[in-house]
A and B are shown apart, each in its own frame.
Chain A
Amino acid sequence: AQRVTQPEKLLSVFKGAPVELKCNYSYSGSPELFWYVQYSRQRLQLLLRHISRESIKGFTADLNKGETSFHLKKPFAQEEDSAMYYCALSGVNSGGYQKVTFGTGTKLQVIP
């Protein structure tokens, strides 16, 4: 079974401080991993995906297969980064079908 764990429900950091939102996954194959973000009063939207290896809004995430992690990082937090962040995994389930599993999300609060 595939599982995504985001251990922190809430992460508070000061503006300008580094940010790391943790995501660990459980999956036996090669996963595809995503970070989705939901700003206040907005819809859920893609932030980045590991296969594109992009940096979006200063955020990066590296897939670490040894540690089964896909942590989201930003060197200097900005107030507009305050939002809910969801880690998601796309993989093949036991029935042979692809399935996306979301984590429970981490609320990032950037303190001015």
Chain B
Amino acid sequence: GNSVTQMEGPVTLSEEAFLTINCTYTATGYPSLFWYVQYPGEGLQLLLKATKADDKGSNKGFEATYRKETTSFHLEKGSVQVSDSAVYFCALSDDGGTGRRALTFGSGTRLQVQP
């Protein structure tokens, strides 16, 4: 079956530090890969996605590259802000973009950015 593994948190950084949250996956075929963010008291929001190998998803200064050879989709940001403090979830979907199947999520990584 499908699975997603991400680094355990919490990750604590100072403002303007470089962020990497590792994510690796196991899936049959060619899944789509996602990063979701959950701010305190809010629902999950799509941060970025990539649908095929070597695609780079980017949004709000975050980026992640779909690496088929290493089955990875690591999240990076060059300079984090206090407002980036949240829980980040890596996820995959193998429904070919139809949305007919649920997502498989990693366990989430809490990011705490200190001023």
A-B interaction: no
User: Interface of A with B (CB < 8 Å)?
Assistant: none
Residues of B within 8 A of A (CB): none
